[in-house]
Amino acid sequence: MDFDLTEEQRLLKDSIDGLLADAYDFDKRKTYMKEKGGWSRAMWSKLAEQGLLGLPFSEDDGGFGAGGVETMIVMEAMGRALVLEPYLATVVLSGGFLRHGGSAAQKAAHLPGIIDGSKTFAFAQLEKQSRYDLFDVATSAKKKGDGYVIDGEKFVVLNGENADTLIVTARTSGGQRDKSGIGVFIVPADAKGVTRKGYPTQDGLHAADITFTGVEVGADSVIGDPANALPLIERVVDEARIALCAEAVGLMDESLKTTVEYIKTRKQFGVAIGSFQSLQHRASDMFVALEQARSMSMFATMAAEFDDAKERATSIAAAKVQIGKSGKYVGQQAIQLHGGIGMTMETKIGHYFKRLTMIENTFGDTDYHMRRVSEAGGLI
């Protein structure tokens, strides 16, 4: 398997790395956090100008027709820079639903706004009882004429506070944990009956709890089959897990570099602490954990193209397990090697660990995915 980047992919990497190096140092990030919703509209426009918001969409839809490797490159760079903007929520998740399940009319109505940066989206899926089970859906979508009426609550919706449009999972039939009878709906965030309560999350991003009370949507709001959307949901969420793995690799990479730089300059007993062999060993172990994570992130990116859905899901779950293990180890070691300063909000290393912690718990933590791999007959 060839893991070398093509010339176009190297150019993409140089482009996104250069953009973020100029526009996204730690001090600027703290400034962006104070803007409405916790991210920069100006930065979002720059991402659009660079074509990054249109990468995964087909040329027929106004995008660039890029694949999983290109998304991996972008997400790694965003991890290294601790980017706050809603790329995952808008492009990877919501854009994924439109790419894989949207009608021509839905793509024409929504993709141009994503690509040019004028609209952002959010995926409203998590419920208070559902934990990590994508099929556990209590929110209902009852038929009314040609359309539906949606009632229910969704929690910790990334970018839910400021999104223009919501992609919502809701049950059209069956019991709460049935794997059939689930639909996916496009809902304007300002629709009558939609109530949002926004708040910051521990990693500096923003989310919202959203209540749907008698929200009426038309038949044109349904993405795919309203009675059997679980396979679509699983596919899109798997792609989001892959993107999170890549982001985590970027976070770990920068955490290691920052830590090595710190122990080279931090002096104790008159010498740099990086000269102590025990700390060199710990930095070496961090590097090994990073490279294990990087390998599994690449594997997950390739696994997205597997024809067998079960094999694809198991491979991505295995990658998420390694990412969780490596992220925890690299993050904890980075904090410890920085000492007390690593626990402060003024230094960036703690922010990297917080984001790694949130990634580990997004769309299934390490234990959850370990069970999935075990049940599938795989080994970690």
The reported pLDDT for the residue numbered 1 is 53
Determine the residue type at 326. S
The reported pLDDT for the residue numbered 378 is 61
Look at strands 140-144 and 267-268 and give their pairing. Answer: unpaired
The reported pLDDT for the residue numbered 274 is 64
227-to-69, 131, 175, 224, 360 alpha-carbon distances in Å:
32, 22, 12, 9, 31
The reported pLDDT for the residue numbered 347 is 87
Per-residue pLDDT tens digits of the chain, which is 380 residues long: 556 889 999 999 999 999 999 889 999 999 999 998 999 999 999 999 999 999 999 999 999 999 999 999 999 999 999 999 999 999 999 999 999 999 999 999 999 999 999 999 999 999 999 999 999 999 999 999 999 999 999 999 999 999 999 999 999 999 999 999 999 999 999 999 999 999 999 999 999 999 999 999 999 999 999 999 999 999 999 999 999 999 999 999 999 999 999 888 877 777 777 667 888 899 999 999 999 999 999 999 999 999 888 999 999 999 999 999 999 999 999 999 988 787 788 889 999 999 999 999 999 999 999 999 999 886 55
Q: Scanning the structure block, which residue is given the tokens 């998590």?
A: 126
The reported pLDDT for the residue numbered 377 is 80
Q: What's the per-residue H, E or C state across 330-364?
A: HHHHHHHHHHHHHHCCCCHHHHHHHHHHHHHCCCC
Look at strands 206-217 and 194-200 and give their pairing. Answer: antiparallel
Helix (H, G, I), strand (E, B) or coil at 214: strand
What are the E-state strand segments in 173-258? 182-188, 194-200, 206-217, 222-223
Q: Residue 102 is encoded by which pair of tokens?
A: 């949207």
Other CB atoms within a 10 A radius of the CB of residue 377 amount to 8
The reported pLDDT for the residue numbered 140 is 98
Query: Residue 17's closest CA among 1, 3, 5?
Result: 5
Torsions phi, psi of 198, nearest 5?
A: -90, 160
The reported pLDDT for the residue numbered 63 is 95
The reported pLDDT for the residue numbered 340 is 79
Contact 194, 151 (CB under 8 A): no
The reported pLDDT for the residue numbered 124 is 98
Q: Residue 91 is encoded by which pair of tokens?
A: 């492009």
Helix (H, G, I), strand (E, B) or coil at 344: coil
Contact 368, 213 (CB under 8 A): no
Query: Residue 286's closest CA among 248, 317, 253, 311?
Result: 253
The reported pLDDT for the residue numbered 2 is 58
Q: Within the chain, what is the greatest distance between any pair of CA atoms?
A: 78
Is-above-0.85 flag for pTM?
Answer: yes
Q: How many CA atoms lie within 13 A of 286 on its CB side?
A: 25
